[in-house]
Homo-oligomer: A and B are copies of this chain.
Amino acid sequence: MSNEAYRARILHVTSTNPLRYEYLVDGVLLVEDGKIKDIGPAQRFLQAGFHLAVCQHDPDYLIVPGFIDTHVHSPQLDIIGSYGGQLLDWLNKYTFPAEARYADVTYAATSAVAFLDSLLDAGTTTALVFATSHLQATDQLFEAADEKGMRLIAGKVLMDQNALPEILDTAVGGIADSETLINKWHGAGRLGYAITPRFAGSSSVQQLQLAGELHKKYPDTWVQTHLSENRDEIDWVAQIHPDTSDYLNAYEKYELVGERSVFAHCIHLTESERARLADAGGKVAFCPSSNMFLGSGLLDFKQLKRDEIDVSLATDVGAGTSLSMLRTMGDAYKVCQLRGYSLSAMEAFAMSTLGNAQCLHLDKYIGNFEVGKEADFLMLDPNATDLSSRRTGLSETIEDELFVMMTIGDERTVAATYVEGNLTRP
């Protein structure tokens, strides 16, 4: 039985509604066999006779739970920072050709490792991932995540129309491949499967229908897709699915909208769509940097909260411009400011940890340092850069410091990433 103690400052969210957190100025996180065994002030451990000399890290370090990203595309690191155009152009010009390369299994395998390493470098230990439409490339991604012991949910993209022929599947074939992957990976180790129709525009009615049936057959899988990102996209989807009342309805009709469904973007939802999404318990993935980069629009975060919709936070790389959840929190603040709402540092931090875990129904495993949970955690370094050191040194509260980190921090702020108690990066 391995048993490790980590001594530094510790911060984690203990409840999202109401928002509560625990901050230990000199804390100890005790990890046994990859799980949280205990957490508390160092003083208590010292009094109990623990020898904490060896487990002392830089006392300025801030130990936090690993970040969770609820929407990211593994093959799109290669097109981050591709110029011009809004959503539909961007898909055709950059995304589809890049994803076509994943027919090459060797390329897919090495790229999967590079993607996961980049996630871990950024401090993200769990993500909900779109792979490509290729069975084998998706298999490689699961293989790599399993190797690293990461809690990852991913899915093969379903798309049987309106894209490059070489990345299209068929309605029946795509579902069969998904089921193969479910049987191999869903529930294997820490892995989970998400049924992944890219978006209503690239799936036929038959494919959406079969996807809904597959989810009914495996009800503890997840569903992930895109919804209401861009106005041209919305108009186009309405043309392609003329017998739907609105965009959300294209998923509702096939029973793809439920508590285990995560919809990326949701910027331009109508009042009716918002009400129905809330009723169904569907989750939103808020992707601020992507939404700005593609000019998609500014999510009205406050309105969604008022509607009691669960909103998670996500990078959406490659349209998103960074895998860092810290950067993403900073961009979320900017988007919210432009909508007249000052997102607090603790709200953004809660979303990126326990809140995102709740949205993914993974909060019994991860998201904070409750005893018994899996020990995915980070060492954040407030002195990662000269400016960060100068600025965090002037912070009077942990909220202030966290806000500085999310405004000027990035992957440099993450000094170390632990997965199930094991140091994995750097």
Chain A interface (Cβ within 8 Å of chain B)?
A: 77-78, 80-86, 114, 118, 121, 289, 292-295, 297-298, 321-323, 330, 333-340, 342, 344-345, 386-387, 390-391, 394, 399-400, 403-404, 406-408, 410
Contact = CB atoms under 8 A, between A and B. Distances in A.
B81 A391 contact: yes
Contacts of A334: 289, 292-293, 295
A83 B403 contact: yes
Closest 7 pairs between A and B when the two form their complex, measured CB to CB: A295-B337, A81-B407, A292-B334, A81-B404, A83-B403, A84-B342, A295-B338
Nearest to A335: B292
B340 A330 contact: no
A114 B390 contact: yes
A403 B80 CA distance: 10
Contact of A407 (B321, B323, B387, B399): B321
Contact of A83 (B85, B342, B387): B342
Given A118-B387, A323-B387, 11 more contacts: A77-B387, A80-B387, A80-B391, A81-B407, A82-B403, A84-B344, A114-B386, A114-B390, A292-B338, A295-B338, A297-B338
B400 A83 contact: yes
A330 B322 CA distance: 12
A391 B78 contact: yes
A77 B391 contact: yes
A408 B83 contact: no
A118 B391 CA distance: 13
A338 B338 CA distance: 11
Nearest to A394: B78
**Which of A84, A289, A387, A406 gathers most chain B CB within 10 Å?**
A387
Nearest to A409: B81
13 contacts: A80-B387, A80-B408, A81-B391, A81-B404, A81-B406, A82-B400, A84-B344, A86-B337, A292-B334, A295-B340, A295-B342, A321-B330, A321-B407
Contacts of A410: 410
Nearest to A385: B411
A78 B392 CA distance: 9
A327 to B, nearest CB: 10
Contacts of A82: 400, 403
Contacts of A339: 295
A162 B292 CA distance: 35
A126 to B, nearest CB: 20
A84 to B, nearest CB: 4
A77 B344 contact: no
Contacts of A294: 337
Contact of A298 (B77, B338, B342): B338
A330 B321 CA distance: 9
A99 to B, nearest CB: 14
Given A114-B390, A118-B386, A408 B338 contact: no
A163 to B, nearest CB: 21
Nearest to A404: B81
Contacts of A400: 82-83
A114 B387 CA distance: 9
